[in-house]
Amino acid sequence: METTPRASTKIVPAAWDCGTRRNFIERVSRGVSSLVACGACGLLQGCTVPVRTFRARPSRVVEVPASRYPELDHRGGMIKVLVGRGGAFIRSEGDGNYTAFSAVCTHQGCLVDAGRDSFNCPCHGSVYDREGKNIAGPAPRPLARLRAQREGEVLKLFLQDG
């Protein structure tokens, strides 16, 4: 009795068919290696961690409880302070001094976001460097500089002089 070969009943697309166990392990290894390499590149370029936010009642001087924001104990640590419809960023210079900028874009008043090395306006694409200077987009002026100083366990942000 003669047997005729059966037609293939595989329902796996040819691109997914690894053929042998060795080919399967090779493809999986390449995939895992690619994922690890992408993750390493992300770490080497630096991850952008969202800046934490402190919400304050409208006032000429905002008092931020420093103990709630340990990131401000280290150089480059930053928080966003939201006050009414406006806001500001406070950045630690690491030596007990702080730099503060308005978070209001000088183009049309949108609130900017903090990036790794810049402040970015989501409305019309203005970009400010880490010192608040406008470097791209339609913003006509740098972000306004504000005064911030630590007094004991309170970090004071002066929204208006006086």
Reading phi first (left if > 0) and then psi (alpha if -120 to 50, else beta), residue 158 is in beta
Among left, alpha and beta (phi > 0; psi -120 to 50; other), residue 37 is: alpha
Domain limits, the chain: 14-45, 52-158
- Beta partners for residue 63, in sequence order: 156
Per residue in 148-157, pLDDT (tens digit) is 999 999 999 9
Q: What is the mean pLDDT of each successive set of 10 residues along the chain, which is 162 residues long? A: 58 60 75 61 51 94 95 94 95 93 95 93 95 96 96 92 49
Instruction: Indicate the fold that domain 52-158 takes in CATH.
Output: Rieske Iron-sulfur Protein (2.102.10)
Q: Is 67 helix (H, G, I), strand (E, B) or coil?
A: helix
Neighbours of 11 (CB within 10 A): 5
Cα 57–Cα 104–Cα 99 angle in degrees, nearest 5 = 80
pLDDT in tens, 56-91: 999 999 999 999 999 999 999 999 999 998 999 999
CB within 8 Å of 73: residues ≥ 6 apart: 92
Kindly give the residue spans of alpha helices, DSSP state H, lying in 3-81. 21-45
